[in-house]
Amino acid sequence: MVRIVLAEDVALLRQAMRELLELRGDITVVAEVSAGDQVAAAVAAHEADVAVLDIELPGLDGISAAAEVARTSPRCKVLILTGLARPALLRRALDAGAAGFLTKDLEPDTLADAILRIAAGEQVVDPKLALAALRQGPSPLRPREADVLRAAATGAEVEEIAVRLALSAGTVRNYLTECIAKLEARNRVDAIRIATEAGLI
């Protein structure tokens, strides 16, 4: 029996997923959460085999929650579900330690099979997204530049970003300037828009 934690902020969708998965008989949902910052604690408390995470969770997004699970409960595998078919998000998810990345428009049996395969140690990735990621090539932003731009996208000012990421204000300004140049943006807001639309942050 594969034990899973289900993280989805839409209660109706979460309940439907649980009921469909448990019909299989070889999967049991041991915990449900509605926010990303609840995932790691639920995984640890219930000794889950797989965490199934929506990419857009409040608190912590699914990718950040996956990284936290990888750090605190490395035995638990993570499957991320997304409505955003962006290749750069796939790369970020895999870098965060996710074992699976699928779009939400999949059949219930496909989801259940993916969970069982991930629990068995396989990696499961949407083939169209994988192909698109190979074609797109690497992100032009270095990881720290992406972190700074992601923080800026929340509306944080330079000094707040510096404190949050343990950087100097000057370094944050330099990273933002680099992001603007690399993305050929007009300004910081334009860089955030470009990076968000491309799935880079």
**Residue 141 is which amino acid?**
L
Please tell me whether residues 188 and 122 are part of one structural domain. Answer: no
**158: its two tokens:** 């330079």
At residue 137 the predicted structure's pLDDT band, cuts being 50, 70 and 90, is low
Residue 38 near residue 59, CB atoms below 8 Å: yes
Q: What is the mean pLDDT of residues 1-7?
A: 96
Please tell me whether residues 83 and 149 are part of one structural domain. Answer: no
Domain with residue 96: its CATH number is 3.40.50.2300
Please tell me whether residues 154 and 124 are part of one structural domain. Answer: no
Q: Compute the distance between CA of residue 143 and CA of residue 59 in angstroms, rounded to an integer.
A: 21
Q: What is the pLDDT of residues 11-67, one digit of tens each?
A: 999 999 999 998 888 999 999 999 999 999 999 999 999 999 999 999 899 999 999
Q: Compute the distance between CA of residue 199 and CA of residue 85 in angstroms, rounded to an integer.
A: 9
Coil/strand/helix, residue 139: coil
Please tell me whether residues 109 and 192 are part of one structural domain. Answer: no
Predicted local distance difference test score (pLDDT) of residue 88: 73
Q: What is the pTM of this model?
A: 0.70
Q: Compute the distance between CA of residue 99 and CA of residue 96 in angstroms, rounded to an integer.
A: 9
CA within 13 Å, CB half, 175: 23
Q: Compute the distance between CA of residue 132 and CA of residue 35 in angstroms, rounded to an integer.
A: 29
Coil/strand/helix, residue 51: strand
Average pLDDT of the chain is 90
Question: Bridge-partner residues for 51, per DSSP?
Answer: 5, 78
Task: Indicate the residue among 135, 163, 188 that finishes a domain.
Answer: 135
Please tell me whether residues 69 and 155 are part of one structural domain. Answer: no
Predicted local distance difference test score (pLDDT) of residue 149: 94
Element (H, E) at 67: helix 62-72
Domain that holds residue 175: 143-197
Please tell me whether residues 131 and 147 are part of one structural domain. Answer: no
User: What is the total count of domains within the chain?
Assistant: 2
Please tell me whether residues 161 and 64 are part of one structural domain. Answer: no
Q: What is the mean pLDDT of residues 124-130?
A: 80
**Backbone dihedral region for residue 199 (phi beyond 0: left; psi -120 to 50: alpha; all else: beta):** left
Q: What is the pLDDT of residues 143-169, one digit of tens each?
A: 899 999 999 999 999 999 999 999 999
Task: Indicate the residue among 85, 113, 135 that finishes a domain.
Answer: 135
Please tell me whether residues 53 and 99 are part of one structural domain. Answer: yes
Predicted local distance difference test score (pLDDT) of residue 95: 86
For the chain, percent of residues with pLDDT exceeding 70? 95
Task: Indicate the residue among 115, 135, 155 that finishes a domain.
Answer: 135
Domain with residue 190: its CATH number is 1.10.10.10
Q: Burial-class residue 165 by CB neighbours within 10 Å (0-12, 13-18, 19+).
A: middle
Is the pLDDT confidence value at 134 over 60?
Answer: no
Please tell me whether residues 101 and 185 are part of one structural domain. Answer: no
Q: How many CB atoms lie within 10 A of CB 116?
A: 17
